[in-house]
Structure 1
Amino acid sequence: MPVPSKERVTELISDLVQRQGYDVEDVAVTLAGKHSAVRIMVDSDAGLELDAVANLSHEISEVFDSVSDFGESPYTLEVTSPGIDRPLTHERHWRRARGRKARIDLAHETVVGRIGALDGDSVAVVIGSRTGPDVRRIALADIQKAVVQVEFSKPDPRELELAGGIPEGRVAPADADASEDEEVVEGLDK
């Protein structure tokens, strides 16, 4: 019996993940011959800690073991955070990325700035200039694509202040280890 669909996996895990205080950001089911991989991306406003991801991975594995959807097919379960290169597509992504620098593609221009407060249907973006940082409000509906940028140096303190700082539990830009991009806990091969 094949591994269940992305939709079925999402159905199986959504309540558990939400009870633990996380959001299911994405589910990917990859078939590779007789062995398959199920990759589940989760996140929360407070970020993720490795121990919590490991516990969640074990609980998801128990859910999978309790249903017949997987049959005898071997699979690898991977529970991970979305990583820094995830496009900002939901309001919660903007809220969690406050204080981070992002590239924001609009219809007729591209803006690079530090993400500030989300207010209803728009987001504040702090844009640095020679005369100092300035805040610009951008309607979420006008954004075609937005992605957080990797920063190798400490951000301008004034920009961070205007952006409202970094949400509690989130790693400050340029303070992150290389492993912050994506925490992965692999479950046991089944």
Structure 2
Amino acid sequence: MDPMNTSPDSAGLDALVSAAVGPLGLHLESTTVGGEPEQRVLTVVVDRSEGTEGLDLDELAEATRAVSVALDAAGEDLPGLGTAPYQLEVSTPGVSRPLTEPRHWRRNVGRLVTVQILAATETGGGEPAAAEPSPALTARIQSADEAGVVLVPVRPGAKKGMPAKVGDPERHPYARLGPATVQVELTRGGAGAATGELKTEV
């Protein structure tokens, strides 16, 4: 879970919602409570625990029903909401969510991302110093596991209309990666990534 708040009430609400969506193979990304005091809005963001497919409308509706049933069963005084009326909204993170955890990277295998690689530096005595960010890298995610990812650098063609230049796969541990941003591609998505950009070996 990536709770937006850290108060005990928020933790209790997260626990309720997480228990409701877990059996559906979903992971709770966040819960936020907004709106006016007389009409609160509970926004729940969920994602698949594994795989690269997105959630369809039927699956979101099923998740909404599961969360609604769980909240109703918890009684009228809900953690983080109290007894005020509320409106429930359930959604998915979308491509705007930065990739910051191993499961985020696994969920986006095949997609094009922009990320900064943190390069280790040395002090005058040869001791490692704080990592410094390198220029942003645009690459396709070839694979991801609990330790790190394999990225295939993709650089634009020298001229407009020319094919992109694909580099050699590079493996990076998560500790050296800044938050990654998924790039929206109009002609192909993660599942349709060019095979030449993904099948090269490390």
TM-score range, shorter chain: 0.7 to 0.9
1:146 aligned to which of 180, 184, 193: 180
| Displacement of 1:60 | 1.0
Alignment of 1:1-190 (within 5 A): 5-44=9-48, 45-46=50-51, 47-66=54-73, 67-70=75-78, 72-106=83-117, 107-129=133-155, 132-154=166-188, 155-162=193-200
SS in 1 for 2:169: strand
Whole-angstrom CA distance in 1 between matches of 2:166 and 2:100:
29
The answer to whether the 8 Å contact 2:21/2:66 transfers is: no
- Stretches of structure 2 that go unaligned for 5 or more consecutive residues are 1-7, 118-132, 158-164
Higher relative contact order, chain-length normalized (CA < 8 Å, sep 6+): 1
Whole-angstrom CA distance in 1 between matches of 2:67 and 2:154:
44
SS in 2 for 1:6: helix
Q: Give per-residue Cα distances to partners, 1:31-76, cap 9 Å, x unaligned.
A: 4231111111111124312112102211211221222224541211
Whole-angstrom CA distance in 2 between matches of 1:143 and 1:61:
37
One-letter amino acid of the counterpart of residue 97, structure 2: R
After superposing the two structures, state which structure 1 stretch, 137-146 or 70-79, moved more.
70-79
Query: Rg: which structure is higher?
Result: 2
TM-score, normalization by structure 2:
0.71
Whole-angstrom CA distance in 1 between matches of 2:40 and 2:199:
46
One-letter amino acid of the counterpart of residue 43, structure 2: R
> Number of aligned pairs?
160
Q: Equivalent pairs: percent with the same residue?
A: 32
After superposing the two structures, state which structure 1 stretch, 24-33 or 125-134, moved more.
125-134
Whole-angstrom CA distance in 1 between matches of 2:91 and 2:166:
38
CA pair 87-132 structure 1, distance change in 2 beyond 3 A: closer
RMSD over aligned Cα atoms: 2.2
- Stretches of structure 1 that go unaligned for 5 or more consecutive residues are 164-190
CA pair 162-74 structure 1, distance change in 2 beyond 3 A: farther
Partner of 1:169: none
One-letter amino acid of the counterpart of residue 140, structure 1: Y
| Displacement of 1:145 | 1.5
Q: Where in structure 1 do 4 or more consecutive aligned residues deviate above 6 Å?
A: none
One-letter amino acid of the counterpart of residue 51, structure 1: D
Whole-angstrom CA distance in 2 between matches of 1:125 and 1:96:
14
CA pair 60-119 structure 1, distance change in 2 beyond 3 A: closer
